[in-house]
DNA sequence: GTCTATAGAGTGATAGAC
DNA sequence: GTCTATCACTCTATAGAC
């Protein structure tokens, strides 16, 4: 939309981030120009540089904020049973990612467009998240509630499976997100169960 | 490498494809220029256009050939037991994808850089592959060998889990690809098992 | 089949007016 | 805080020489 000249009460920053998030998710970081972002927001390209020093930093901040939100939203309760902790994790992961399809897509697809230093920072956050799940699996292993050959591999396998939901789930589809959560929880539960 | 002037016995085509595959996988389609591909091969940019009409077609052909190879390599045997067919599928998927990390990466990451028409063609091939697994799950369900709530969801969940291996497996790592296959097969097997 | 040269458009980022 | 104008490149793709 065309805008008139002048200040607009400090709302441009969030609007730029929203527009960038959406465009990056849809077309990819490298394929989106600063002019396209500006046009989506309704400002000229020069105005964008009031909110970040360059395009790389914009990408980094979107990814970092997403990971920090993820980490601050997961609340594992080590005092409960491993099986219950695992169920909470599975349902949380699907819910959280389902609400932020653009951010999820960017976090998984644009890692290679980060500068080496920014990449390291995002990777560290991702590893922290994986550790939450791995701790649950280890606790279940020690309590003989789970049977897994290798907690690290199982962690990566479960996260890959759960995150995959974002790539195909459409809310107009045959199944509700509640159905999906139930089914994924059943699959995960069985996959870590001791063989009978 | 610098090259001298003249023809080079028809080997440039494959070399261009290899270079493009590697560069696209590493940096992303949109971030790689025709000049970078030419430089990697050791020719000037104009020479590339002897082998494809434009950059979009180059990407499409890489993806299409990968999917066709995948489809021609999977040999499901409907006359054997569902459990055996599933094991063959799991091991095949990991093996095939493990041997072609660049092609796998491109096939999953660059879908949005395809023109709508090319996208449809690749999607159709991907669905054909998914159907192989879904048929196995349906057979197992009918034979009461498997218990799955929804064969379509389970198909997508298993493929996401298996394909995830490519994103973290490094041959120098702690576990061999044979270990990985065994562990993934155990997880998949348990996840579709009837509850005891 | 490959080269050089170039057309024509687009890129990220900055300077200075308002 | 946003605008306009611009710098200095880079991009894909093509034409025509060899």
Q: Does residue B5 lie in a domain region? A: no
- The confidence score (pLDDT) of residue B196 equals 66
Nucleotides of C under 7 A from a protein CB: 1-5, 10-16
Do A89 and A76 meet the contact criterion of CB atoms below 8 Å apart? yes
- The confidence score (pLDDT) of residue B2 equals 44
- The confidence score (pLDDT) of residue A16 equals 98
CATH of the domain at A44: 1.10.10.60
Q: Summarize pLDDT for A134-171 with one digit per residue, the tens.
A: 999 999 999 999 999 999 999 999 999 999 999 999 98
Number of CB atoms found within 10 A of residue B114's CB: 19
- The confidence score (pLDDT) of residue A10 equals 60
Residues B99 and B183 in one domain: yes
Residues B87 and B161 in one domain: yes
SS3 for B52?
coil
Residues A148 and A75 in one domain: yes
- The confidence score (pLDDT) of residue B105 equals 97
Q: Do A183 and B156 make contact, defined as CB atoms within 8 angstroms?
A: no
Q: Does residue B84 lie in a domain region? A: yes
Q: Do A195 and B195 make contact, defined as CB atoms within 8 angstroms?
A: no
Q: Does residue A60 lie in a domain region? A: yes
Mean pLDDT by 10 residues, chain A (196 residues): 50 97 98 98 98 98 98 98 98 98 97 98 98 98 97 98 95 95 98 89
- The confidence score (pLDDT) of residue A2 equals 44
Which nucleotide is at minimal CA–C1' distance from A48? Answer: D2
Q: Does residue B81 lie in a domain region? A: yes
Q: Does residue B156 lie in a domain region? A: yes
How far: B126 CA to C2 C1' (Å)? Answer: 37
- The confidence score (pLDDT) of residue B1 equals 44
Number of domains observed in the structure of chain A:
2
> Which tokens belong to A142?
């020690």
Residues A81 and A149 in one domain: yes
Cα-Cα end-to-end distance for chain B: 62
Q: Does residue A2 lie in a domain region? A: no
Residues A117 and A39 in one domain: no
Residues A79 and A159 in one domain: yes
- In the predicted model, residues of chain B with pLDDT beneath 70 are 1-10, 196
Q: Does residue B3 lie in a domain region? A: no
How many Å apart are CA A28 and CA A134, to the nearest integer?
A: 31
How many Å apart are CA B71 and CA B107, to the nearest integer?
A: 14
Q: Does residue A7 lie in a domain region? A: no
Residues B40 and B93 in one domain: no
Residues B23 and B99 in one domain: no
Residues A83 and A167 in one domain: yes
Residues B41 and B61 in one domain: no
Do A136 and A85 meet the contact criterion of CB atoms below 8 Å apart? yes
CATH of the domain at A93: 1.10.357.10
- The confidence score (pLDDT) of residue A196 equals 66
Name every residue in B having a CB less than 8 A away from some CB of A: 26-31, 109, 112-113, 148-150, 153-154, 156-161, 163-164, 167-168, 175, 179-180, 182-184, 186-188, 190-193, 195-196
Name every residue in A having a CB less than 8 A away from some CB of B: 26-28, 30-31, 109, 112-113, 148-150, 153-154, 156-161, 163-164, 167-168, 175, 179-180, 182-184, 186-188, 190-193, 195-196
Residues A47 and A105 in one domain: no
How far: B107 CA to D18 C1' (Å)? Answer: 40
In degrees rounded to 5, what are phi and psi of residue B47?
Answer: -65, -30
- The confidence score (pLDDT) of residue B195 equals 81
CA-closest candidate to residue B110, choices B154, B61, B38, B156 = B61
Using CB atoms within 10 Å of the CB of residue B40, give its burial: 0 to 12 exposed, 13 to 18 middle, 19+ buried. middle
Residues A157 and A85 in one domain: yes
Q: What range defines the domain where residue B37 resides?
A: 12-51
Do B192 and B140 meet the contact criterion of CB atoms below 8 Å apart? yes
């Amino acid at each position: 939309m065309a805008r008139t000249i002048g200040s607009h009460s400090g709302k441009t920053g969030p609007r730029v981030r929203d527009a960038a998030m959406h465009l990056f998710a849809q077309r990819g970081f490298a394929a989106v120009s600063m002019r396209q972002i500006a046009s989506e927001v309704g400002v000229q390209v020069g105005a964008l540089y009031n909110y970040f020093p360059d395009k790389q930093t914009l990408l980094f901040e979107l990814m970092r904020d997403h990971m920090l939100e993820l980490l601050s939203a997961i609340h594992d309760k080590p005092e409960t049973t491993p099986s219950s902790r695992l169920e909470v994790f599975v349902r949380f992961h699907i819910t959280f990612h389902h609400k932020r399809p653009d951010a999820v897509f960017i976090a998984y697809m644009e890692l290679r467009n980060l500068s080496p230093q920014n990449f390291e920072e995002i990777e560290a956050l991702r590893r922290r998240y994986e550790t939450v799940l791995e701790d649950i699996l280890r606790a279940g292993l020690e309590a003989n509630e789970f049977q897994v050959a290798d907690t690290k591999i199982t962690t990566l396998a479960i996260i890959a499976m759960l995150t995959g939901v974002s790539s195909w789930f459409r809310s107009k589809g045959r199944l509700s997100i509640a159905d999906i959560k139930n089914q994924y929880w059943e699959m995960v539960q069985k996959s870590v169960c001791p063989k009978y």
